[in-house]
Amino acid sequence: MKISFIVIGRNEGFKLRKCFTSLKKLNSNQNLKLKSETIYVDSDSSDDSISIAKEHKINHIIKIKGNINAAIARNVGASYAKYDWLLFLDGDMELQESFFLDDHEDKFTDNDFFSGQFINYYYNREWNKISEDEFVPNPKTEKQFTPGGLFIVKNKIWKELNGMRDYYKRSQDFDFGLRCFKNGYRFTRYNQLLAIHHTISYLSNSRNLEFFKKGYYLYSRSLLYRDHIFTNFNRYCFKILIKQDYTLVFLFLSTISIPFLNLYAMLFYLLPFLYKVIKNRKNGLFFYTGYLIARDITVALGLLFFYPSKTLRYNIEYIDK
């Protein structure tokens, strides 16, 4: 089994050490008969990430600067890969040996594009651990449309689809997964633990405020829906829209109905909106209400007016070990 591990990161600190340690442990397991290389792409870190990579004797260390994002980092990393399989992971993830030890040959024989599950270890802003997800093993596998930032894909498929679209600042994995699905490459997710993800909670107030300030929801939803529904119709993306953003659909329905129904038209949006808020009340009614309104309005406006530049300028520096 020949794999190119492509790690991307920015200021990951202790998490990057855990990531590289997990790769070293995997490589040293004689039962796997693994032949691999590790490529680390650093997005202009200001901490000691480059030193950590050198300390772990990473095969290729590349630093990128300028107008950069995760899609660019993965594309750059993949351009250095020489093996048949590419395993992409973020620098704050630890791979788990058990995923590879359990029928690993069948996983690589039966699939072109696959992954496993990960659990989150949540931290506060001072990087003190506060909680973690629970993982319950399940033998069932699933066909899904999107891989997330942790996945394994054949190098030839990556090249065929020209990797990730580098103008996506967020949801590059959604876009790539949808293009794979449309081209006949079905993504499989095994319900087995592949990695531990060390992160700050996705629903923290500070994190979501930062996402809104940087316009990430314009990239993660507005751009995705325009590219895969309105520009080139992809029925798989439409299924994601209906499942994850049905309130957005009803917002548009309410808006176009106002000339006929006046303010009563807003009931089309209010009822599914209340259902979704109540369904997610564990995240806090007040917080989630504000979050959902802001997200729906941001995505709706983005669909109409957001057209980001597709020409990004960045520099690549190869770091000698």
pLDDT in tens, 54-65: 999 999 999 999
Q: Which residues contact 225 (CB under 8 A, 6 or more apart)?
A: 237, 241, 245, 299, 303
Band of the pLDDT at 247, cuts 50, 70, 90?
Answer: very high
The pLDDT assigned to 263 comes to 79
Q: 281: which residues sit within 8 A by CB, 6+ positions away?
A: 288
Region 56-83: mean pLDDT is: 96
Residue-level pLDDT at 314: 94
Domains of the chain (ranges; CATH) run 2-201 (3.90.550.10), 206-305 (no CATH)
Residue 209: the pLDDT is: 67
Return the pLDDT at 208: 65
Distance of CA 232 to the CA centre of its chain: 22
Q: What is the pLDDT of residue 126?
A: 86
* Confidence (pTM): 0.89
Highest mean pLDDT among 18-22, 217-221, 234-238, 296-300: 18-22
Interatomic CA distance for residues 64 and 9, integer angstroms: 11
Mean pLDDT of the chain: 89
DSSP assignment of 213-245, as one string?
HTTHHIIIIIIHHIIIIIIS--HHHHHHHHHH-
pLDDT classification of 206: cutoffs 50, 70, 90: low
Query: Looking at this protein, which amino acid is placed at residue 62?
Result: I
pLDDT digits (tens, 9 = 90+) for 163-189: 999 999 888 999 999 999 999 999 999
Q: What is the mean pLDDT of residues 2-21?
A: 96
Task: Please give the backbone phi and psi of residue 208, each rounded to the nearest 5 degrees, phi first.
Answer: -70, -35
Share of the chain above pLDDT 70, in %: 94
Torsion of CA 102, 108, 114, 118, to 10 degrees: 30
Res 320: pLDDT: 77
Task: Give the confidence band of 321 by pLDDT, cuts at 50, 70, 90.
Answer: low
Average pLDDT on 187-207 reads 83
The predicted model gives 273-297 an average pLDDT of 87
Q: Is a pLDDT exceeding 80 seen at residue 149?
A: yes
pLDDT of residue 138: 67
Q: Which of 24-38, 63-77, 89-103, 264-278 has the highest mean pLDDT?
A: 63-77
How big is the chain by its Cα radius of gyration, in Å?
A: 21
* CB-CB contact of 26 with 101 (8 Å): no
pLDDT over threshold 80, residue 104 = no
